[in-house]
A = this chain, B = another copy of it.
């Protein structure tokens, strides 16, 4: 199949049809009417509904039923007023929905469910220019306007790029993914002109590549990709993109250019790893596995994942400080449980450990070190005389934890723990080693295992 055919077939699967468009328009019209009604009842002049996001721009993908509807207050409205009255309006509108919850960003908003659509009702200030925004969300309508007048005729390309990014695992600027936002993908298409030109450009990208559509950027960014916000010269739209998602996109782009295929848009789902494969992998690799398993805190992913990453990094630092050596590690969260999994090259160490003291010429420190470690008979943990190596005092002492699992069991509380993960860990956790990890039967954990080992057998 040639590239044109492939893209046509992808679009046939992801482009919303007239029926889907109509349904969405009906829902939008309905909610707009509700907002108008509530606003007029409350006699709030100047407050109006604004549709933003991919629905407003015609760049959403079939089956995505997300609506971002902003309740825009006059630019000079009172901040407290917007907070209370904005939320009142949103709640009253949402009282007609199939259900709703209150969520928090810089100020509260409502997430509601209307006829199968997930709708965010977000109060904002309708300021006159992007330079005068009063809260972070006020920027969105400007993004909307910038994209709307430039995206006509490019909607298909944006849809193709979003689908390609989803398939590659790099779509979404949420804190779990650290990938490309919808707005970023739209700007890339506007800048490069088409899906395929974005792909060709990515094949040449290097960290630090900079795109400034308006040529108005005023700040240096250290991010891997810098796309100056056309509505804000100091902001990098790609600030949330992490290194490995950046290069994964480059890698996928290169593979696509080498051999385009439907599979690059619709990958075969990863299978899960059964007990036999897991024990075979353990034998084949010879490494040790340690999993810290605990109850998953009941918070949204954008709160959960940064805390899981923090725990992962803090555990890695701790085991390295203690001279164990790590091959790989990752975090997982299922329905009710969460875990950090570490694979060790070295998970056991001998009793003796070299303790490094000050340089011999650092007189004061040298004295303290010698005073402490020369009283050998008082300390069972001191295994040698103080000696000199590479200009410094050293002494052989006994290691407290001979295994990484033991270290983690006893010292996890000294790791950097986010609030919710910390609470969960303090209320209990399990450390599983090697074949014990197969006790976790959760299907999504078994899928995670398959990915963890980059297993060759996992692909076919």
Partner of A456, one of B246, B287, B376: B376
A254 contacts across to B, CB distance below 8 A:
363, 366
A385 contacts across to B, CB distance below 8 A:
454-456, 458-459
Considering only residues 235-291 of chain A, those with a C-beta below 8 Å from chain B are 243-244, 246-248, 250-251, 254, 284-288
User: Taking A455-B385, A456-B376 as contacts, is the C-beta distance between A250 and B360 under 8 angstroms?
Assistant: yes
> Is B361 in contact with A391, judged by CB distance below 8 angstroms?
no
**How far is B366's CA from A111's CA once the two chains are assembled, in angstroms?**
44
Q: Does A346 contact B (CB under 8 A)?
A: yes
**How far is B330's CA from A387's CA once the two chains are assembled, in angstroms?**
14
> Is A325 in contact with B323, judged by CB distance below 8 angstroms?
yes
Smallest CB gap from A458: residue in B: B385
Smallest CB gap from A346: residue in B: B346
**How far is B359's CA from A221's CA once the two chains are assembled, in angstroms?**
21
Smallest CB gap from A459: residue in B: B385
Closest CB in chain B relative to A344 CB, distance in Å: 8
A349 contacts across to B, CB distance below 8 A:
345-346
A323 contacts across to B, CB distance below 8 A:
325, 345
Considering only residues 321-337 of chain A, those with a C-beta below 8 Å from chain B are 323, 325, 327-328
Smallest CB gap from A344: residue in B: B350
Binary per-residue interface labels of chain A (366-391) against chain B in the complex, 1 for a CB within 8 Å, 0 otherwise: 10000000001000001111111111
A46 contacts across to B, CB distance below 8 A:
none
Binary per-residue interface labels of chain A (189-208) against chain B in the complex, 1 for a CB within 8 Å, 0 otherwise: 00000000000000111110
> Is A388 in contact with B251, judged by CB distance below 8 angstroms?
yes
Binary per-residue interface labels of chain A (441-460) against chain B in the complex, 1 for a CB within 8 Å, 0 otherwise: 00000000000011110110
Q: Which of A350, A388, A458 gathers most chain B CB within 10 Å?
A: A350
A396 contacts across to B, CB distance below 8 A:
285, 453-454
Q: Does A354 contact B (CB under 8 A)?
A: yes
Q: Does A130 contact B (CB under 8 A)?
A: no
A387 contacts across to B, CB distance below 8 A:
454
> Is A351 in contact with B284, judged by CB distance below 8 angstroms?
yes
**How far is B347's CA from A346's CA once the two chains are assembled, in angstroms?**
10
> Is B248 in contact with A388, judged by CB distance below 8 angstroms?
yes
A353 contacts across to B, CB distance below 8 A:
345
> Is A361 in contact with B247, judged by CB distance below 8 angstroms?
yes
Q: Does A352 contact B (CB under 8 A)?
A: yes
**How far is B352's CA from A388's CA once the two chains are assembled, in angstroms?**
36
Partner of A350, one of B244, B285, B388, B453: B285
Smallest CB gap from A327: residue in B: B354
Closest CB in chain B relative to A57 CB, distance in Å: 30
A325 contacts across to B, CB distance below 8 A:
323, 325, 346
A456 contacts across to B, CB distance below 8 A:
376, 382-385
Partner of A390, one of B243, B251, B351: B243
**How far is B350's CA from A386's CA once the two chains are assembled, in angstroms?**
33
> Is B455 in contact with A384, judged by CB distance below 8 angstroms?
yes
A455 contacts across to B, CB distance below 8 A:
384-385
**How far is B146's CA from A6's CA once the two chains are assembled, in angstroms?**
91
User: Taking A360-B251, A385-B459, A456-B376 as contacts, is the C-beta distance between A391 and B284 under 8 angstroms?
Assistant: no
9 residue pairs A–B, Cβ–Cβ below 8 Å: A205-B361, A207-B361, A243-B391, A247-B388, A254-B363, A284-B351, A286-B402, A327-B352, A345-B349
